[in-house]
Each structure stands twice: as C-alpha cells, then as structure tokens.
Amino acid sequence: MRKRNIFFLLLLFFTLLFFFPLASWSQLVLGQYEDEAPFRTWNTLGIKTASSLGMGEIQFTLATDCSVALSNPALLTELPKITFSFNSSYHRASFFKYSIVNTGVLFSEKTLTDDFTAFDFIGISLRLSDWTFALNWSLLEVYDRPVADYQYMFQDTLYYSIYMNQQGRLNNLNFSLSRKLSKILSVGLGFNRVYGQLDREIIEVWAVDRVSISDNKSHEYSGYYFNAGLFLDLTDRFKVAAVFRTPYVKKSESQSVLSYNAPPGGTDITIEASSNDEYHQPLVLGFGASYQILKDFRVMSELTYFNWSKYEADYFGEIQQRDYKDVIKIGVGAEMVNSFTLFNQDFYLPWRAGFSYDPQPMKEPNSHYVYFTFGSGIHWKGLHFDTAVSIGRESGSGDALSTNRIAFSLSYQF
C-alpha cells in the first residue's frame, strides 16, 4: 500500500506540473489554436454576413445591411431610412494542435473537426436627416474545440480514459452613429461592449485503481473598444473607404479548480485559484475601394492590417508565450446583378464571388488561409435574402487545416 501511495503522489506531482497554470503548461507553443484563439482564424473584425462573405469577406465599401456598423459605420448613411438585418451561419473547421491534443498528452494521426450553427447577428439602423443611428448585437468569436475522448480497454475492462472539452463565446453589443458631411464624404463612429465566457474541462481516470484527476477552468470576458470609418463617394463609379478599430484589453475573471481523488489511498485533494487576466487585442486599420465597371457589375478590394506584434496574454499571473507578427489580410470580390419580372413585380438576383488571403499572426509556424467564396440572393422591393459559401484551406503549418462556412442573411429596408 505504501508503494501505491508513493506512486500516486509522484503521479500527482507531474500532473500538477503539467496542468496547473503557473507551471510549464504556458510554454507549449500551440500556434494556430491557443486556448483563446477564435474558431478558424485570429483575424476578426466585425461579422461577415452573407453578402460580405460571398464577395471575399469584403466589408469596408459594401453597404447592404446593418452589419456595416461593426466594420465601417460611415456606410450607415448609404442604407435606406430604416433597415432591419439578421444573419445566421454554419461553421466547420479542422484542428490539429490544441489544448492537450498533439502537444504531449494525446496524439491524433489526423486532424479533428468541429462545427457549430449560430444565429450570430441582429441589428437595426435609422436615418434622420444627415444622421444615421444603429444598434446591433453579434456573436464576434467562438472558442469551441473538438471534444477529445479516449478510452483504453483490455479484455472488456476499462483501464484508462481521458476527456477534454472546451467551449466559449464572445458577444458584442454595438451602438453606432454616422453623418454625411458633404455630397461625397460620410464618417461614422461605433462604441462596442464585448462580453462572453470560455469553459474548459479535462478529466483523467485510472478506472481499475479508482484514481481520477480533473482540471476545470472558466473565464468570464468583458471589454470595450471603439471603431470608426470614413466613406468617400468620389464618382458614380469609384468609391473608397478607411476604417480603424482601437486596441483594447479583453479582461477575464478566471477560475481554476484542480482535483485529485484516490479512494484506495484515502487521498482527496482540491486546489482552487482565481485571477484577473488580460488579453491585449490589436489595433486594426483598413482600406477599401469599389469600382462600378458596368451598370450591373462591380468589383471591390480591401486590405486589413492587424497589429498582432503588440498582442499580450496575461494568464493566471503569467505572461504567455505569444511571439506574433503584424499581418495584412487581403480580400477581393465581384458582384453582378440580374433582374426579372414576375406577376408585374421586379426581382433582382445578385451573383457574387471572391477571394481572401488570411495570414495568421504566429511567426512559427508561418501559416495562412486562402478562402474562395460564392454567393447569391433574391431581392424584392425592400426585402433582401442572401446566402453565401466560403471554402478555405490552410498552408504553412504542415497540418493541412480546412474551414468552411455557410451564411444566410435577411434584411428588410424601407
């Protein structure tokens, strides 16, 4: 019995060394999917509704619904007097290195996939003379990971199991206003409050010996930032825009509970910790241009700069290892609009396609995504229904990650 107790104590020591937040856990470089990394990509600015997604995630000069308040609020002046907008989407992405998977505890020979469906945007805008106001709610980021659940069986007896699950959301409440200063110039400003949570659970069990170790961490997020933009309607054909998002601190009230239970040895240990953590989010700058080649055909492009070299994560009192670089995301899109008449009513069919290059901020591995996007819709009077698909592939990490997204938008304008 004494030997078994010594074994359990040694096992507890090495487990604490791995799991406890003040230990060597923070030195693991996961790259693409640190715990706080958003689902799919680090580079998030606003939300891509169906019209934006179908055109290579173009946002800065595309005024189709209320979501423009999150990326370029100056575009609110281009919307009709009153606009209601909704969006829902389906996301699917593959993962390789994350949490305890392929970082030394669990090994997978192939990538793992996870998906989710969400109602992720609702908003309203109202134009009064030269001023336009908007109020929006959106799901900005998701922190879900594929569930890891491994069991070792021998002769129909369970000897060992390990389970990991992580889920999280970051919501955004936005209030924006914009003003048309002249015939060609509009400006806008948005105030954003972010809030959400992240929960991660790891349970390890030696069933025969009745020994279990559990590690539970929870984070309650909050923060504030401003975003602003300008829109120049230079000619009937050519338009440009510039945007920025202020850097901000995403604060976290964090809790950690680590438990070790070994009934044969009479051991029951629980270690609790709490911390006020901070994640320093980067400054974002953007520039976009739109050109109307024909009456029913236009092209758009934009560049978005993310100042990731200033990113910092303070996790349970320890600065995490995040050696990141600044990146520039590139998007290009095109839209052609056809029309037809049915029952003496005019209907419009937009056809969209686009491309996006999305480099990730880690210096190692030097990873980037390439997305090809397609979309369409049907517009009748003030009622607009749009849908889009994005297909993405990652290069650089050696893991051949992939991502797909489908979005559906409904907007009513009058």
Q: What is the 3-state secondary structure (H, E, C) of the chain?
A: CHHHHHHHHHHHHHHHHHHCCCCHHHHCCCCCECCCCCCCCCCCCCCCCHHHHHCCCCCCCCCCCCCHHHHCHHHHHHCCCEEEEEEEEEEEEEECCECCECCCCECCCCCEEEEEEEEEEEEEEEEECCEEEEEEEEEEEECCCCCEEEEEEECCEEEEEEEEEEEEEEEEEEEEEEEECCCCEEEEEEEEEEEEEEEEEEEEEECCCCEEEEEEEEEEEEEEEEEEEEEECCCCCEEEEEEEECCEEEEEEEEEEEEEEEHHHCEEEEEEEEEEEEEEECCEEEEEEEEEEECCEEEEEEEEEECHHHCEEEECCEECCCCECCEEEEEEEEEEEEEEEECCEEEEEEEEEEEEEEECCECCCCCEEEEEEEEEEEEECCEEEEEEEEEEEEECCCCCCEEEEEEEEEEEEC
Taking the whole predicted model, whether its pTM rises above 0.95 is answered as: no
Please tell me the distance from the alpha carbon of residue 143 to that of residue 39, in angstroms, as a whole number: 5
2-413 topology per CATH: Porin (2.40.160)
408 neighbors 87 (Cβ within 8 angstroms): yes
57 neighbors 43 (Cβ within 8 angstroms): no
CA 350 from chain centre, in angstroms, equals 27
202 neighbors 100 (Cβ within 8 angstroms): yes
pLDDT of amino acid 13: 38
- For the chain, list residues with pLDDT below 70: 1-32
Spatial CA neighbour of 112 closest among 142, 137, 66, 149: 149
pLDDT of amino acid 55: 96
CA 295 from chain centre, in angstroms, equals 35
Spatial CA neighbour of 54 closest among 64, 45, 69, 43: 64
253 neighbors 276 (Cβ within 8 angstroms): yes
Classify the C-alpha dihedral 34-37-40-43 as positive or negative.
negative
Please tell me the distance from the alpha carbon of residue 343 to that of residue 335, in angstroms, as a whole number: 26
pLDDT of amino acid 30: 54
pLDDT of amino acid 319: 83
pLDDT of amino acid 21: 36
47 neighbors 70 (Cβ within 8 angstroms): yes
- In the numeric block, the tokens 């559990």 are attached to 214
pLDDT of amino acid 272: 93
Integer Rg of the chain from CA: 24
pLDDT of amino acid 32: 67
Please tell me the distance from the alpha carbon of residue 34 to that of residue 283, in angstroms, as a whole number: 20
- In the numeric block, the tokens 């037809």 are attached to 340
With 0-12 / 13-18 / 19 or more C-beta atoms within 10 angstroms meaning exposed / middle / buried, residue 235 is exposed
Q: How close are the terminal C-alpha atoms of the chain, in Å?
A: 78
264 neighbors 4 (Cβ within 8 angstroms): yes
pLDDT of amino acid 239: 97
Please tell me the distance from the alpha carbon of residue 264 to that of residue 206, in angstroms, as a whole number: 12
Amino acid at residue number 15: T
